[in-house]
Structure 1
Amino acid sequence: EKLTAIVTVSDDGGSSGKLIDEFGMLPPGDIRNCLAALSNDEDMLTQLFQYRFSGSPELEGHSFGNLFITALADITGSFEDAVVESGRVLSVNGRVLPSTLHNVKLVASMELPHSLNEVRVVGESKIPEMAGRVRRVWLEPDDAPAFPPVIKELLNADVIVVGPGSLYTSILPNLLVHDLLAGIHASRAIKIYVCNIATQAGETDTFTCFDHVRALVGHVGEDLFDIILCNDNYEGDVGFASRWVLADEKTISDSRAYCADLIDDDHPWRHDAVKLAQVIVDIFYERTGPLS
């Protein structure tokens, strides 16, 4: 089926942050990850795109994928054309679109340990490092328009899937682009939120599925999603710094909740792609019949 990945452009850490400073371009890191995930040879391409150079002051810390997209942006003359051409060159299954073409910063208001006042934290990469509790996030500027093809894709979609991903630094930055959010509301697609399987240190420590949904509602309002998809298999070890995101009673009592075994048996802290895709297709069939 036709897939479109809509990707946030608020990443400012690591290689992406260096390229923003050196070339004034949008951050390619999350775009790179999506291109690798949608490629026909995902394992090999992922290794190539995620390869980081070392031993050279100029290349230290840069990933091959980020430099690839940067080079294409220089050749084609624009970031959006570079993303399109990257998809063509790599024969990806679907499209990858930036949510906006404007440079935006993700800003958070956080409660920090041993501090009475909330602290303003600027930069996506800095938020998880603060070891505090996120109260609210927003974009600066807050009026960046969505990339027009994004709105077209949303309005023509059969299913819109939000997640899984970092709640405050990957999911919400997309939804905080106002006309992108309006496009989701206007779309007749089934809208599914996929809750994370494990908590994320520095962002969602101790969060249940209900806490994830409550944070979304606090930022973008009620009734955005038709389905809240949660994992209900808690067998395995999700690591020292994480806990299971539980489908608690408040979640299960929500008529939109849909619980299923979604874990990757070998890596239980993340979703099994086949299980997740099958559940999404099943939900669509239950609601409307076969995909068009």
Structure 2
Amino acid sequence: MGGVLPAGSPSVVALGGGHGLHASLTALRTLRDELSVGDLTAVVTVADNGGSSGRLRQEFGVLPPGDLRMALAALCGDDEWGQTWAQLFQHRFAGEGPMQGHAIGNLVIVGLWELMGDHVRALDWAGTLLGARGRVLPMATSPIDITAVVRSTPDSATTTVHGQVQIATAPGEIVQVALDPAEPEACPEAVQAILDAEWVVLGPGSWFTSVIPHLMVPGLRIALEETKAKVLLLLNLSDQEGETAGYGPEQHLDALFDHAPGLQVHAVVADSTAVLDVDRLRAVVEARGASLVLGDLAVPGEPRHDPARLASCLKAVIED
């Protein structure tokens, strides 16, 4: 997948899910094509319970394929072959029948799982079909549900909300999240990729439902604590209604380290326009033993990362 890479190109593992992981993978895939990084592996959350993924998960008892599909699409090349497959995998059926809303890539992935009976082998084959510039792995070997303790107002009692979609739309502040089952088995290939990596990129993405859950899978958390890789944390461009409303960069960091106090981070990357108090954030980051890296990372006028700008920033950090 992607050809022979020169010696010295560092291997990178990116953890996350959804649009955030799609952005970081697109940037890292660009660097891989430029030979700035070597082997590239995505480790993807498997907790989605809504939309096409939720329907397929419920009907077939499989991992939710949607975030895995998006990761595969992000790793497709910029040539005609890659972009055609990426667009096809992301395409959703229209109409009003039972196929409405299903992404073609989701169906292909579930079909390969049924055919091969092996999640990892099937995803590898999907990557080969697409000409993906890297490997996509699930973070766990079975579907996971997320539960959250939510407080509606500062003085109110807490309630427990079950399910990724329900958490994302629940009013109030998320106090804590947990996984169900509490200690899911990590994908062995994902654990090994983290142990073998030279860089691990965590984020951006839905903080409580796409980023933090990776740190709560025991096998992944232990691997992240034991790996010799440098961990790079990509902060979100802004808060997210329903999960992190009112959060600044410091609150994002506090929430992450509350769930994974043993995580050692080498660098924290943030968009310069999203930081109101640089000195304060730098102090928080350096207190964790990390370096703060600022850059113009957003698509002008839009609340999403620009893959080209992000690639330039990541290249500078990795090559430093």
Fold shared per TM-score above 0.5:
yes
TM-superposition CA deviations, 1:51-76 (whole Å, max 9, x none): 22122422022111111111111222
Q: 228, 233, 258: which one pairs with 2:292? A: 258
Tell me the SS of whatever aligns to 1:217: helix
Q: 45, 52, 56: which one pairs with 1:8? A: 45
CA contact (8 A) 2:270 2:293 kept: yes
**CA-CA distance at 1:261 after TM superposition:** 1.9
TM-superposition CA deviations, 1:158-182 (whole Å, max 9, x none): 1100011110110011111011011
CA contact (8 A) 2:152 2:172 kept: yes
CA contact (8 A) 2:267 2:293 kept: no
Residue of structure 2 equivalent to 1:175? 215
Residue of structure 2 equivalent to 1:70? 110
CA contact (8 A) 1:207 1:245 kept: no
The question of 1:98 aligning with 2:132 is answered no
Closer, same or farther: CA 246–212 of 1 in aligned 2, 3 Å: farther
Aligned residues: 276
Q: 303, 311, 320: which one pairs with 1:269? A: 303
5 Å-filtered alignment, 1:1-292, equals: 1-41=38-78, 43-113=83-153, 116-232=156-272, 234=273, 244=274, 246=276, 248-253=278-283, 254-255=285-286, 256-266=290-300, 268-286=302-320
Partners of 1:88 and 1:206 in 2: how far apart?
Answer: 42
The amino acid across from 1:192 in the alignment is L
Tell me the SS of whatever aligns to 2:219: helix
CA contact (8 A) 2:92 2:103 kept: yes
Tell me the SS of whatever aligns to 2:257: helix
**CA-CA distance at 1:81 after TM superposition:** 2.2
Closer, same or farther: CA 264–45 of 1 in aligned 2, 3 Å: farther
The amino acid across from 1:71 in the alignment is G
Partners of 1:44 and 1:166 in 2: how far apart?
Answer: 28
**CA-CA distance at 1:262 after TM superposition:** 3.3
CA contact (8 A) 1:160 1:192 kept: yes
Closer, same or farther: CA 104–198 of 1 in aligned 2, 3 Å: same
Closer, same or farther: CA 116–17 of 1 in aligned 2, 3 Å: same
Moved more, 222-231 or 122-131: 222-231
The amino acid across from 2:240 in the alignment is Q
Tell me the SS of whatever aligns to 1:12: coil
CA contact (8 A) 2:225 2:262 kept: no
Moved more, 274-283 or 155-164: 274-283
**CA-CA distance at 1:6 after TM superposition:** 0.4
**CA-CA distance at 1:113 after TM superposition:** 4.4
CA contact (8 A) 2:238 2:248 kept: no
Give the alignment's TM-score, normalised by structure 2: 0.81
CA contact (8 A) 2:149 2:176 kept: yes
CA contact (8 A) 1:109 1:118 kept: yes
Closer, same or farther: CA 56–73 of 1 in aligned 2, 3 Å: farther
**CA-CA distance at 1:272 after TM superposition:** 2.0
Query: Structure 1 or 2: larger helix share?
Result: 2
Partners of 1:228 and 1:203 in 2: how far apart?
Answer: 21
**CA-CA distance at 1:248 after TM superposition:** 4.6
Indicate the percent of aligned positions where both proteins have the same amino acid. 33
The amino acid across from 1:229 in the alignment is V
Residue of structure 1 equivalent to 2:18? none
Partners of 1:262 and 1:43 in 2: how far apart?
Answer: 26
Closer, same or farther: CA 222–75 of 1 in aligned 2, 3 Å: closer
**CA-CA distance at 1:213 after TM superposition:** 0.5
**CA-CA distance at 1:133 after TM superposition:** 0.8
Give the alignment's TM-score, normalised by structure 1: 0.88
- Consecutive unaligned residues in structure 2, runs of 5 or more: 1-37
